[in-house]
Amino acid sequence: MNSQSPKGKADGRGRNRNPVGGRWFPVSIELIDSGLLREMGGAEYKRYSTLLRIANFLGKGSFSASTAQLEKYDGISERQTFRVNAKLQERGLVTIDRTKNPYRYTLQLPSEWHKPGTHPELGTKPRIEVTARIEVTEKIAAPKW
């Protein structure tokens, strides 16, 4: 994308919606509004932004990239890549085909993301709550068989 908005010019004439200047690419507002950004770790966001940037550059939602290539852009080591990729897949942001070498990344639409507070298999986020303690008041004898 260029630095000009459709309603104005970057040279000061008209309204410019690009306050930082330079080249940029869009990140879905849904990432913030859904609460996913709040739950993501820094490395997850860095990797997801890197994947968005590559997809934007190539003009495709699916592409192959090695961990070494991605590490050049976002600094996430090969060791940390497995955990970060697993979290991105768990959140439904990407699907990763590990049978290909290099891995094939496919970015998912916001409608396919797993919203915060939901678990893909269970339907809700698992919670453990302590409500009351159980007290034993009398012993019950074992049945005589």
Domain boundaries, the chain: 30-112
Tens-place pLDDT, residues 79-108: 899 999 999 999 999 999 988 888 999 999
Please give the C-alpha separations between residue 3 and each of 10, 26, 50, in angstroms, as whole numbers: 7, 12, 19
Q: What is the CATH number of domain 30-112?
A: 1.10.10.10
Kindly report, residue by residue over 106-143, the tens digit of the pLDDT: 999 888 888 777 655 544 455 556 667 667 677 777 77
Helices of type H across 59-136 = 67-74, 78-90
The closest alpha carbon to 38, from 96, 95, 30, 52, belongs to 30
Q: Which residue has the tokens 């809700």?
A: 124
Regarding pTM above 0.85, the answer is: no
| Residue 71 DSSP SS3 | helix
Cα 39 to Cα 27: distance, rounded to the nearest angstrom:
16
